[in-house]
Amino acid sequence: MGALKLPPKGWLAIRVGEEGREQRRFLVPVRYLSHPLFIELLKESEEEYGFQQKGAIRIPREIEYFLHVKEVIDRDNSCRASETASAAHYLHRPIDLICFRAIS
């Protein structure tokens, strides 16, 4: 097996799968590191393997479970991006100028 390529900038390589079962390598965006669900996976990894892992971070979960978590994180990030874009659009709308006549 040849050496695996390094992940692109802004991405992180992880290995998902329980010991003795199928394992698969995934690339995830570094923004996952701040998501509560991914933080829980990292805590499980630390409890199982400690901090002395070599290579990709190993997540001791079934691949199907990880794919579900990934889907939730992606959906959550998509919603946040949509809300941010919507707020930015609202804030950058041209202001309709209305002339007011002074009441004397």
pLDDT band at 96 (very low <50, low <70, confident <90, very high): very low
What pLDDT sits at residue 97? Answer: 44
Residue-wise pLDDT for 38-66, tens only, equals 999 999 999 998 888 788 899 999 999 99
Please name the residue that has the structure tokens 């290995």.
15
Considering the chain, what is the average pLDDT of its residues? Answer: 81
For residue 19, is pLDDT > 90? no
Query: Could you state, in order of their start, the residue ranges of all structural domains in the chain?
Result: 11-81
What pLDDT sits at residue 98? Answer: 45
- What is the torsion angle, in degrees rounded to the nearest 10, for the CA atoms of residue 19, residue 33, residue 67 and residue 29? -120
pTM as predicted: 0.69
